[in-house]
Each structure stands twice: as structure tokens, then as C-alpha cells.
Amino acid sequence: MRSFQQRLSDFNARGFRVVAISVDAPEVNRQHCQKLGFTYPFLSDAKAEVIQRYDLLHKGGGPNGADIARPAEFLIDSTGTVCWANLTESVFVRARPEQVLKVINGLKLVASEAG
């Protein structure tokens, strides 16, 4: 997540917004962002409704058996269509910003060739 903060301007320059979502309460997310210096939005899905909709709930996977969101990255266009997804079972394996930016560049190229 820190690496996405470091590359935030690259996402913004391509017209993409970085947003995180977790089962943590809004206050926990706010404290986390303040502590680590994150400036992009961290959304709270305390009831895990959106997380379940995307089939990302890892029941009992968190501290003390709490439900958490499975690590994933999505590129979602303005119509809500998922254009790309990176799903993993491990909290230690996540897409790097460079990988996502490469996908974005490919999507932009395809879109400009189609238009």
C-alpha cells in the first residue's frame, strides 16, 4: 500500500484513482492513514457487503479469528465494469504499482486503438 502512495501521481496522471477498502471501522482506517501518511481514500466495509460481493471475504483470517478482506486489486471503469483483477490467497503477495500501471497503459492503448 505504501508503494501505491509513492506512485499516486502516476495513477492520477492516467486518470485513475487509487482507493482501498477494508472491514475496519472508519476511525481505524483514518488512524491508519494518518500514521502511515496515506492520502488516497480508505473505505470502510464493516459489514463486508462489498467485500462479499466481490467474493473476497476471508472468514476468520484476521487477528483473533476476525473476518478480513482477501488481498486483491481491481481496475474498475466508470460504468462499474471490472477491467482487470489480481486475486491472491496470501497477504504477502500483492500487485505492485508498476504492474498495475503497465496494465493501465495497455488498456489505454487498446481504448485509443478502438476509438
pLDDT of residue 70: 84
Quick: pLDDT tens for 33-59: 999 999 999 999 988 899 899 888 888
> How big is the CA angle at 56 (ends 67 and 100), to the nearest 5 degrees?
125
Q: Which CATH superfamily is domain 2-114 in?
A: Glutaredoxin (3.40.30.10)
pLDDT of residue 112: 57
Domain boundaries defined on the chain: 2-114
Closest CA to 30 of 19, 42, 17, 40: 42
